[in-house]
Amino acid sequence: MTKRIIVGISGASGVCYGIRALQMLSDMGVETHLIVSKSAQLTLAQESAMSLSELKSLASFAHAIGDVGATISSGSFVTDGMLIAPCSIRTMSEIATGVTSTLLTRSADVVLKERRRLVLMVRETPLHTGHLRTMTALSEMGAVIAPPVPAFYAGLDSVEAMVDQSVGRCLDLFGLHGESVSRWQGLDRGRD
């Protein structure tokens, strides 16, 4: 069976992470199911020249945020998990409580209940204690909290390379290893 990943894009800054995830997954031949929140549509217009229809065309399937009857809203529809890139604090909090109001958070809830991989690229700083407690609760439920943090050791020379590195490391968590990730080669022991 072809790998199948749900990609959610919420309204946090960093829509480039979701865009790049869809592009990388397509290059790997992975079937993708996209959900874009209403807030993410505003962020897309602010942070990218890409239209919503262009974004949707990057996915194998695009689902409306209010379509709670979509295939991905049921655990019987088998996926390899879900990546939310970026993940807002609101989206993270809805998932943690299990009180879901959209297809985005319902799908994440399904992924957790089915014990599949849920990776959240949470985009917020600084974090208060409530945020941290919510992250802990999600981690205890099986989610992976993976904020997009630059890997300076990799010597990346552009924002695009940093985005690729962050997204690639998240895809590693699904067993999908792309060529755009700069892998650690160990320390150069010849330097002082």
Does the pTM surpass 0.85? The reply is yes
Q: Within 10 Å of residue 9's Cβ, how many Cβ atoms?
A: 31
pLDDT at position 14: 97
Mean pLDDT computed over 162-166: 96
Angle at 35 between CA 30 and CA 37, to 5 degrees: 150
Helix (H) or strand (E) holding 53: helix 52-57
pLDDT at position 189: 67
Q: Within 10 Å of residue 37's Cβ, how many Cβ atoms?
A: 22
Q: Which two tokens stand for residue 104?
A: 């985005």
CA distances, 14 to each of 19, 71, 116 (Å): 9, 27, 24
Query: For residue range 30-88, what is the model confidence (pLDDT) as tens digits?
Result: 999 999 999 999 999 999 999 999 999 999 999 999 999 999 999 999 999 999 999 99
Please give the Cα distance from 31 to 176 (Å, whole number). 12
What's the first-to-final CA gap in the chain, in angstroms? 50
Domains and CATH numbers, the chain: 4-150 (3.40.50.1950)
Mean pLDDT computed over 78-101: 97
Please give the Cα distance from 73 to 69 (Å, whole number). 6
Mean pLDDT computed over 159-166: 95
Sign of CA dihedral 185, 175, 31, 112: negative
Phi/psi at 167 (nearest 5 deg)? -65, -45
Question: What mean pLDDT is reported for the chain?
Answer: 95
Residue 134 has pLDDT above 90, yes or no: yes
Sign of CA dihedral 23, 67, 116, 91: positive
pLDDT at position 190: 64
Q: E-strand spans in the chain?
A: 4-9, 31-36, 61-63, 81-87, 117-122, 144-145
